């Protein structure tokens, strides 16, 4: 079993971002997807998207999952412009089928990452791609797309009433 294996190697790092209680009620800014492992991407797909799809193709045993992105209501305006961000939990991406809650938090302008189950238990040990360092590598490498640690293009509907 994967849990025991990784645990006994003791090689995984725990979440750095804290679990934000009440995220279930945060406004949804985007409904997205963890794509299934057998997805054939168009030839002109950016390297960033290719890597993102590949990194999480193990989710739901390779069958993919809806991904819901919710933003801390106090940071909606900040998210719209990809920051700059004030301190505290900023945004979660929830892989719905397996209930994996990805958290991006900001401290002193810097983004930190974490992964939890829906009950707030750290589930970093589930897979190497859940380690904060792995999150950071992707979220900070692609600076043209990810700004201040956030990568999604928020859907404008959420902002219509504002
Ligand atoms: C290989 C690249 C890659 C890795 C690794 C990665 N992400 Fe992301 N992340 C993305 C992409 C691409 C999006 C935008 C998804 C969309 O718009 O559908 C995203 C979106 C997010 C969001 C939604 C908010 C936003 O706009 O950024 C959160 C929260 C998030 N990731 C947290 C994490 C956490 C926590 C980890 C590690 C457990 C992680 N990510 C690892 C590429 C990555």
pTM score of the predicted model:
0.90
Banded model confidence at residue 7, pLDDT cuts 50, 70, 90: very low
- Helices vs. strands in the chain: H and E counts, helices first: 4, 5
pLDDT at 9 over 50: no
Give pLDDT, residue 12: 60
Judge if the beta carbon of residue 16 lies within 6 A of ligand 1. Answer: no
Judge if the beta carbon of residue 148 lies within 6 A of ligand 1. Answer: no
DSSP 45-96: --HHHHHHHHHTTTGGGGT-EEEEEEE-GGGHHHHHTT----SEEEEEEEET
Sheet holding 88-95, edge to edge: 28-34, 65-71, 88-95, 100-107, 110-116
130 CA closest ligand 1 atom index: 38
Judge if the beta carbon of residue 32 lies within 6 A of ligand 1. Answer: yes
Which H or E run includes 3? helix 2-9
pLDDT at 18 over 80: yes
pLDDT at 2 over 90: no
b/e code 45-55 from CB counts within 10 Å (16+ = b)? eeeeeeebbeb
Output the residue whose Cα is nearest ligand 1's atom 15: 152
Output the residue whose Cα is nearest ligand 1's atom 37: 135
78, 90 Cβ separation under 8 angstroms: yes
> What is the average pLDDT across 41-62?
93
Interatomic CA distance for residues 138 and 142, integer angstroms: 7
Nearest to 31 by CA among 60, 57, 73, 70: 70
Interatomic CA distance for residues 58 and 83, integer angstroms: 30
User: pLDDT by residue (tens digit) across 54-83?
Assistant: 999 999 999 999 999 999 999 999 999 999
Judge if the beta carbon of residue 69 lies within 6 A of ligand 1. Answer: yes
User: Residue 69 Cα, ligand 1 centroid: separation in angstroms?
Assistant: 10
């Amino acid at each position: 079993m994967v849990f025991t294996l990784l645990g006994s190697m003791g090689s995984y790092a725990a979440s750095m971002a804290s679990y934000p209680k009440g995220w279930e009620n945060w406004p949804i800014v985007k409904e997205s997807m963890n794509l299934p492992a057998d997805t054939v991407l168009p030839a002109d797909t950016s390297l960033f998207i290719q890597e993102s799809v590949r990194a999480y193709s193990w989710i739901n045993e390779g069958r993919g999952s809806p991904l819901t992105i919710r933003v801390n209501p106090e940071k909606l305006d900040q998210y719209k412009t990809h920051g700059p961000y004030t301190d505290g939990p900023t945004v979660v991406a929830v892989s719905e089928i397996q209930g994996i809650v990805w958290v991006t938090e900001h401290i002193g302008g810097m983004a930190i990452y974490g992964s939890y189950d829906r009950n707030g238990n750290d589930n970093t040990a589930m897979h190497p791609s859940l380690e904060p360092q792995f999150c950071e590598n992707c979220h900070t490498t692609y600076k043209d797309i990810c700004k201040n640690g956030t990568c999604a293009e928020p859907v404008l509907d959420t902002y219509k009433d504002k």
